[in-house]
Structure 1
Amino acid sequence: MKRKFIQLLIAGLAFGSLQSCIKDKGDYEYNYGNEVTIRYATYSYTVFLADTLTVTPLRTFANPQGDTTDYDHAWYINGEQYSDAPVLKYAGKAIGSTSVYYYMIDRKSGIWFPAASSFTINTSSPFAAGWGILYEKDNESELAHVRINGTSFVDYKDLYKTYNNGESMGSAPVKIRDYAVSSGRGMYVLQRGGPGPLELDANGFSKKLVAKDAFTAGAPAGFEPVDMAFFGTADLLVNKDGTLYSRTFPSGALPFATPWFSTPVQYTRGLKISDIWDSWSRNATFSIMHDELNNRLLTMSFNIGTNPSGGIPIRDIPAPVTPYPEEYSPLNNLGNWDYVWGGTFNDASGLMDGAMLLRSPADSKLYWQTFQIQVTGNNDARVTPKTRVLFQGNNLVTDKSILKTVKTRGYLFFTAGADNKQLYYYDNISGQPVVKYTEFSSPITAIEPAEDGMTMAIGLEDGTFLIYDISNEVIISGVPKELHRYGGLGKVVDIIVKGGKTS
């Protein structure tokens, strides 16, 4: 028995010795690779559409002599490899957010080293705010944009072709409007040529709808819209014959999914709309339009709270509690006075100050008629008439004149002269004589004030877009101040404030 125990002990010692030898040999063959720790300066990056974002990882090598050239690199986005470079160059091609995963692969060992965490890239639109420009070049309609970047400006052109695979937008451009849709912005382009009017994603310029194909029972005969307005509960199109078309939105309606009614809007005594006023619909929740057939003003309410199923209640403007002054044209019946223009100041919730240019049947001169109007919760209008006086710029306004109100400051800017090269302003508060702000070598084709009332965008027939300072300091000095100039656009046709309050 003792002999057997000794034999087992010797065998156990021999096996332990052999195991020790095998372990030592294995230590010399193990390879953990050139380990690297990967971090980032931040884990959330932002890039503009069409711009390029550069991301350089922060790397700590276990081997102080380590270098990125010792590794292969793999950047993954949406489950697919996006790049094999040590530094990521990401081109923002679509608005939205995406997660990025990065790996370094040691070439000697084949070991993959992941970053400590993924990071997010948020691609946003550089076109959400600033100035939108409709222009015509080489007999084609196109879009441009000027982005405000602090005290400087960034210019973009040929945006429709860029974001629609080189496709031509059309021809004979007329007008553009930027408007709110759920989770974004839309843009309506009026043009007579090509496919006709279009609706676009205003932040990315991709085509969403061809207007003639977006009616409940086909486009109306002679469909050629000349004016438009966009509200929270409904949108309106004015055809060249004054016919009014609409589409209505219940709460939660999807963008670019609601057709226009093929039958026109009907109202008491008929309609022939000549003008929809450019109100700040997001502030006022109502607007005004001129009915040429009956020479009257009508209100349109688009308060979602009172119209939850969509639609726009249209109303005549009732007589004021205090009778109209003797030298005044009633708003619900302008009589034999010719309507020339209308606009608003101080647009607020349910309240704004209105102004009109009317031509007298007696002396053919222009008169400035003002009033205050309020639309109540049940969509009824209450008007307070003010005055009707001879317009100080009577001898300057022509059929070519463009008129725009600086809503927060009480100024009316307008173009003048036989060739429309002059820019004047009228102070509605003081009523003082009009003042010439500046003059250009090319006819003025578009003007649009910024919503803060401090700058004015101007478009010229020669394809130049300009931004001018119209602050109190500059107005008082009497010396015009140019802030930005962007040329080579062919012919500027229209200018809008992007992401703004105008309907």
Structure 2
Amino acid sequence: MKINAIILFLCSLFLYACYEDKGDYDYAPIDEVTINFDLTSYGVAIGEEIEIKPTLEFKNPEDSVNFSYEWLVSGKLYATTRDLKYTGEELGSNFTMFTVINNRTKVRTIKEILIQVSSPYNISGAPGWFILSDEEGKSVLHMVSSKYIDGAYQYVARRDIYNGGGEELGREPVKLIYHAPYYSYPELLVVQRGGQKSVELNINSMTRVIRNDEEFFNGQPPVDFVPQDAYYGMWADILLGEDGNLYSRPIAEYEKLHQDPFNNNPMLIDPKKESRIKALGIAPAFANEVVVYDELNNRLLCIGTDFRYGGDIQEMPTATYPEEYTPLNDMGNKELIYLGVGDPMNFNMIVKDPSDGKYYFQRFMLQYMAHNNTFMLYAWNAHKELGCASYFTSRTQIVIFRDGNYIFFTGGAANNELYRHDTRTNVTVLVKSFEDTSIQLLRLPNVMAGESALGVVFTNGDVVSLNMSSANINANVYEELFRHNFGKVVDVVAK
């Protein structure tokens, strides 16, 4: 009982003392601050500087002068300024702690971010585009990279970036294929017919990793082999040759690139009939859903990616199609105009009915079942007739945003007009008419979904990235993120 009384007495004294010590807090309540950053992870090229500006919200803005700041990068004090100017000196990830210190109360408010120092050709999280040009038959590789400054990306052209130690990249350029397995650094396959022919490049160093013809069994590629497209997976890689054949390699250890050779005999497509593969439909990032178009039989097939089979060609699984839909396993007299990846496991298609000249848009979902190396196919909605088809010409270029909502295409007698078609409303809008030059290529950024940019290549060599955010689309605003000229452009691909 005495002990309880003593405790009660001491508590009373403590509360009285707190109450009496109220002078400062009458006119200066405990200051509070909230810290916000534009990003949770910032990328900077090695040797270059980035400035990071946190947004601070003070409970009592007039007392903001009573605060000080600390930046700890990888556990070491780097700066004591409100904004951080950081120079990337070594490749790697740096956990960064920003602390706002109340000089009166000594209360510390802390927020963490990540600063990733990367190669200038592979800045973490920053959009970029690779450009392959033909300079009098010589292959030349360029890049447009970006840097995050004051809440937006600023773009810079990096020219002739191949690091061959004096050796030229190659000749007779054809195509770029970017692939980014989640377990290793991205690589870039440069397809070319001359010089050292097709080569894989390390994205960080822009050096050659291996020549494509060296990747076949015993270093013996098929005669006159030129890759047309490629799929890079966890357990199997597939090359599509210009000869219409597919060549596969099973991967024994998925974290080791180029360890296993491609088979120099083509994959068996269909034992019952002759086939010729014209196109691959694959996700831009790592995925297991792969579709191929067999032009001789006007059908789609899928590829099982289980390592035990090294990639095997399968017929499209049985599905119940809507009444108004072109079956994938037999498209009859329909012509395949476009095949592209949609949201993860989804695909977008445009087919043409030559009997009446009408074009139709449809989607389907293909899900790979790894446990038994099979697929499940879903086609829920009927096709939609495209009201924009009257604008199509023989030179029309087409890309479809992966959610299937917007189709961008070119038109006009000189192929100098860019259009946008809304598949939901069937409304077509002229985005921009260009008087001086024609459009050569349209390209999408290398993301799984939610595009906000569109790459446009003009015949005069200009490469442009357009801001196609929802706000710009709704306002029908034409905004160029960058424009650079790279001469005779052969191909462009986003990183």
Task: Give 1 or 2 for the bigger CA radius of gyration.
Answer: 1
1:198 is aligned to 199
Q: 1: distance between equivalents of 2:395 and 2:170?
A: 25
The gaps in structure 2 that reach 5 residues or longer are 1-42, 50-86, 94-115
The answer to whether the 8 A contact 1:456-1:469 is kept is: yes
Alpha-carbon displacement from aligned partner over 1:89-121 (angstroms, at most 9, x marks no partner): x998x9679xxxxxxxxxxxxxxxxxxxxxxxx
Residues 347-392 of structure 1 show CA distances to partners (whole Å, capped at 9, x for unaligned) of: 2xxx32x332222131233222333333334322222242233322
Where does the alignment leave 5 or more consecutive residues of structure 1 unmatched? Answer: 1-45, 54-89, 98-121, 499-503
Return closer, same or farther for 1:255/1:371 CA change in 2, 3 Å cut-off. Answer: closer
Task: Name the residue aligned to 1:422.
Answer: 417
State the Cα deviation string for residues 46-75 of structure 1 (Å, max 9, x = none): 9735x479xxxxxxxxxxxxxxxxxxxxxx
CA distance in 2, matches of 1:319, 1:255: 35
Amino acid at match of 2:377: R
Q: Secondary structure at the match of 1:172?
A: strand
CA distance in 2, matches of 1:172, 1:221: 18
How far apart are residue 444 of structure 1 and its match? Answer: 2.2
Say if 1:227 and 1:237, in contact at 8 Å, map to a contact too: yes
Q: Does 1:336 align with 2:330?
A: no
CA contact (8 A) 2:322 2:382 kept: no
The one-letter code sitting in structure 1 at the alignment partner of 2:194 is G
Q: Provide the identity percentage.
A: 28
Q: Is the 8 A contact 2:132 2:139 kept in 1?
A: yes
Q: CA deviation at 1:427?
A: 1.9
Asked if structure 2 preserves the Cα contact closer than 8 Å seen for 1:319 and 1:330, the reply is: no
Q: Which of residues 342, 360, 363 in structure 2 aligns to 1:367? A: 360
The offset of 1:273, in angstroms, is 0.8
Matches within 5 A, 1:352-501: 352=346, 354-377=347-370, 378=372, 379-408=374-403, 410-428=405-423, 430-440=424-434, 441-450=436-445, 451=447, 452-487=450-485, 489-498=486-495
Deviations 1:158-188 (A, max 9, x none): 011xx11232212232211221354311111
Query: Is the contact between residue 445 and residue 493 of structure 1 (CA under 8 Å) also seen in structure 2?
Result: no
Give me the whole-angstrom Cα distance separating, in 2, the residues matched to 1:439 and 1:233.
46
User: Does the 8 Å contact 2:184/2:255 carry over to 1?
Assistant: no
* Structure 2 counterpart of 1:194, one-letter code: G
Give the residue type in structure 2 aligned to 1:264: P
Report SS of the residue matched to 1:394. Answer: helix
1:179 aligned partner: 179
Residues 451-493 of structure 1: per-residue CA shift (max 9 Å, x gap)? 3411222222222121211112211222311121222x11222
Does the C-alpha gap of structure 1 residues 241 and 399 become closer, same or farther in structure 2, counting only changes over 3 Å? farther
Are the counterparts in 1 of residues 277 and 294 from structure 2 also a CA contact under 8 Å? yes
- Per-residue CA distance 1:131-180 (angstroms, 9 max, x = gap): 222222333211112222122112211011xx112322122322112213
Letter of the structure 2 residue corresponding to residue 223 of structure 1: F
Letter in 1 for 2:260: T
TM-score normalized with structure 2 length? 0.69
Per the TM alignment, residue 297 of structure 1 is displaced from its structure 2 partner at its CA by 0.8
Give the SS at the match of 1:212: helix
Closer/same/farther in 2, CA of residues 278 and 219 from structure 1, 3 Å limit: same
* Corresponding residue pairs, total: 378
Distance in 2 of aligned mates of 1:367 and 1:388: 6
Q: 1:293 matched to which residue of 2?
A: 296
SS in 1 for 2:134: strand
Deviations 1:248-277 (A, max 9, x none): 212345223332211001122343111111
- Whole-Å Cα distance in 2 between the matches of residues 235 and 439 of structure 1? 41
Q: Superposition pairs for residues 221-260 of structure 1, below 5 Å?
A: 221-260=223-262
Q: In structure 1, the residue corresponding to 2:387 is in which secondary structure? A: coil
State how far apart, in whole Å, the 2-side matches of 1:165 and 1:201 are: 14
- 1:397-452 CA-to-partner distances (Å, cap 9, x unmatched) read 33433322222462222222343322222223x14132221233322233223334
Q: Which residue of 2 aligns with 1:314?
A: 313
Q: Partner of 2:381: helix, strand, or coil?
A: strand
Return closer, same or farther for 1:278/1:435 CA change in 2, 3 Å cut-off.
farther
TM-score normalized by structure 1? Answer: 0.68
Map of 2:121 onto structure 1? 127
C-alpha distance in structure 2 between counterparts of 1:376 and 1:183, whole Å: 24
| Residues 133 and 496, structure 1, Cα contact 8 Å, conserved in 2 | yes
Partner of 1:81: none
Contact 1:136 1:173 in 2 (8 A): yes
Q: Displacement, 1:295?
A: 1.2
- The amino acid of 1:337's aligned partner reads K
Matched, 1:274 2:278: yes
For residues 134 and 95 of structure 1, what CA distance do their matches in structure 2 show?
27
After TM superposition, give the deviation of residue 331 of structure 1 in Å.
Answer: 0.8
Contact 2:461 2:487 in 1 (8 A): yes
Over aligned residue pairs, what C-alpha RMSD do you find? 2.9
1:445–1:494 CA contact under 8 A, matched in 2: no
Cα distance in 2, alignment partners of residues 385 and 442 from structure 1: 41
Aligned-partner residue type, residue 342 of structure 2 = F
In structure 2, C-alpha distance between the alignment counterparts of 1:96 and 1:475, rounded to whole Å: 37
Which residue is equivalent to 2:168?
Answer: 168
> CA shift at 1:243, angstroms?
1.1
Matched residues in 1 for 2:365 and 2:254: separation? 33
Cα displacement (A) at 1:336: 1.8
Residue 215 of structure 2 contacts residue 258 of structure 2 at CA under 8 Å; is this kept in 1? Answer: no
SS at match of 2:337: strand
